[in-house]
Chains A and B, each alone.
Chain A
Amino acid sequence: MKKKIAISIVTTIFLVIMVCIGLNSFNYAVDNEYHLILRFGKIDRVVEDAGFYFKNPFIDTVTVLPKEIMLYDIPESDVITSDKKTMIVDEFVLWRITDALKFAQTLNSSISNAEYRIDTVVYNATKNVISSTTQEDVISGRDGLLAENIMIAVGDSAAQYGMEILSIETKRLDLPDDNKEAVYERMISERETIAAEYAAQGESQAQMIINETDRTVQIGISDAEAEAATIVAEGEAEYMRILAEGYNSPEKQEFYGFIRALEAAQNSMTGDATLIIDADSPLAQIFMGY
């Protein structure tokens, strides 16, 4: 009896132990993980694909490393351009583990170690590239040319750590704060110059329009006056012609002279004028006895 109890208890315990062992002999990896199987502390193999896998219970332990793209935001740093201008650069790096074994061996499976390495490598490459670029090209040498050059400078120095750097990008390029103030001052004075230019241009153009107008008006009127004189002269000429035509015989001309003399006398001799005439003038003849 006691034996039976003992046997059943032992059997139960045995079953439980078997189950525990069983449970510890498999695992599964999710899609964004590497599972490193360590046997007695030494790396035995790497499970790279997602899914179910077997392992030695209790003997094998698992370290999980990320398989996915990681983002590392490097703290901002000062750099100097080829024309000795200081700038502040803030970069970020996209990287991932490509060789989990190497990563574990060289970096002790530590992400922060990895970031430290990346920081050094990228900062050096950035400093070198920017120190051979002018500030103007740094700001505007674009279409990702700067990033490209930094990537080339980094090369595959990350490969020795089992990492791949996918891209290095500058998310901020800035001038030091005291430079900023100077830039603002310059911007303000630039704008003032532009404003003054507009004002001056406006005045000058307006004046030109006014001058042009005045000129046109004066010329127009002067021309008109000249033409008017011509027209009046034509009238005069025509008048003369008419008269000439009208007094076209010697008798008529003589008669005309007579009339005209009388008219002249009438118009000029008025009031208390004194008339001095010769004795043999027709006028005198009247008084002398015609």
Chain B
Amino acid sequence: MLKFFIILIVILIAALVILKQSMNSDEKAGRGTALRTKEKMSSIVMISGIAILLALLAFNSFYTISEQEAAVVTTFGVPTAVTDTGLHFKIPFVQEVTKVNTTINGLQMGYRVTDTGTVSVDEESLMITSDYNFVNIDFYIEYRTVDPVKYLYASMDPVEILRNVSQSWIRDTIGSYDVDSVLTTGKGEIQAIIKGRIIEELARMDIGIQLVNITIQDAEPPTDEVMVAFKAVETAKQGMETSINNATKYQNEEIPRAEAEIDRILQEAEVEKTERINQGYEEVAMFNAMYEEYIKNPTATRLRMFYEAMEDILPGMKIVINSADGSVQTIYPLDSFTGSTGTYGYSGSTGNTGSSDDTDPEGE
């Protein structure tokens, strides 16, 4: 640009000089009209030329910086960074300005979001874990320019370097974890480690950009069939827990029921014991009462009790008396001692010749 500007100036001066020379010769030759035309031309050329040059100078002498930018000003190629926002001035043509974006930018790793949806980039996302399994894992990388001079001049393509370095460390780190950690529990740790490594390397490379964050978007088994198998494991785990829960439920129902049963058994035993003891007391008390009466008149009481019992037993019974000499006597059923017309009689021979009298049982 500088050389172009200088050439413009030279052309302008050359044009004016030539014009001036021919004006001189016109003057000497007395070509008045030609002279005046040329005079007019020369003033036109001079004024417009100077105007153009000044305009070029003006446009090339200032620039603005907005909030999301920084500028790098080079003076004959030597760079300096300018970060304040607003209007700045510079030496036209000698100094040139390149602007650099300082906002946070994102890189998609392992996938691309297109107009029709998200597409997986297997080259970037399919990788090996420490136990020789494959996973399909997507990342989102956020970075920003922190040193505009380095961003422009330290490397040819700092964003590509970031992309490649990230891939390298992602693979490296995932290769130290087994598939279950990568898919489930280890994600936070893995993210943190990868982030640390990338930041370290970028700092070492010193290329003017800095990693802001790297996050795992999606971690999945590599194909649909494998995914089905992984889901089956989850289902089996659930099934296992359900079995155990059911068994525990059974336990929680049976144990209290058994305890209630045990209590009942013991209570019943206690009741039986108490009842038996009370029965004992009752019996003794009743006996003692009877005994009190008995003592007052033992013989009569005995007889009375005996006869009462007989009244109860004998009706309807057949009685056979076995006498000492071996003969047998049979007494027929007696209704009652106390006066009904029951028949009694005996058969057989004994010393006592009772008469088969069927009238008065009380008689002898």
What residues of chain A have their CB less than 8 Å away from a CB belonging to chain B? Answer: 1, 4-5, 8-9, 11-12, 15-16, 19, 23, 28-33, 50-52, 66-71, 73, 92, 94, 139-140, 142-144, 147, 166-167, 169-175, 180, 183-184, 186-188, 190-192, 194-199, 201-203, 205-210, 212-214, 216-217, 220-221, 223-225, 227-229, 231-232, 234-236, 238-243, 245-247, 252, 255-256, 258-259, 262, 265-266, 269-280, 282-284, 286-289
Q: A4-B21, A31-B149, A220-B262 are in contact. Are A273 and B76 (CB under 8 A)?
A: no
Q: Which residues of B contact A139 (CB under 8 A)?
A: 128, 130, 132, 175
Q: A239-B279, A246-B287, A266-B309 are in contact. Are A188 and B226 (CB under 8 A)?
A: yes
Residue of A nearest to B303 (CB): A290
**A68–B157 Cα gap in the complex (Å)?**
9
**A252–B286 Cα gap in the complex (Å)?**
13
Q: Describe B's contact surface by its main secondary structure.
A: helix
Q: Check if A69 sits within 8 Å of B276, measured CB to CB.
A: no
Additional 8 contacts, C-beta under 8 A, given A9-B21, A270-B313? A32-B152, A51-B78, A142-B175, A147-B168, A194-B233, A221-B261, A238-B273, A259-B305
**Is B39 part of the binding interface, using a Cβ–Cβ cutoff of 8 Å?**
no
**Is B67 part of the binding interface, using a Cβ–Cβ cutoff of 8 Å?**
no
Q: Closest approach, in angstroms, between the C-beta of B278 and any C-beta of chain A?
A: 9
**A194–B14 Cα gap in the complex (Å)?**
91
Q: A4-B21, A205-B243, A252-B291 are in contact. Are A70 and B276 (CB under 8 A)?
A: no
Q: Check if A224 sits within 8 Å of B226, measured CB to CB.
A: no
**A203–B274 Cα gap in the complex (Å)?**
48
Q: Which candidate, B53-61, B84-92, B212-220, B251-259, is the interface stretch facing chain A?
A: B251-259
Q: Check if A265 sits within 8 Å of B313, measured CB to CB.
A: yes
Q: Check if A29 sits within 8 Å of B77, measured CB to CB.
A: yes
Q: Check if B247 sits within 8 Å of A209, measured CB to CB.
A: yes
Q: A174-B128, A275-B319 are in contact. Are A242 and B294 (CB under 8 A)?
A: no
Q: Check if A69 sits within 8 Å of B262, measured CB to CB.
A: no
Q: Check if A169 sits within 8 Å of B165, measured CB to CB.
A: yes
Q: Check if B205 sits within 8 Å of A94, measured CB to CB.
A: yes
Q: Check if A235 sits within 8 Å of B277, measured CB to CB.
A: yes
Q: Which residues of A contact B172 (CB under 8 A)?
A: 142-144, 170
Q: Closest approach, in angstroms, between the C-beta of B225 and any C-beta of chain A?
A: 6
Q: Check if A275 sits within 8 Å of B176, measured CB to CB.
A: no
Q: Which residues of B contact A289 (CB under 8 A)?
A: 352, 364
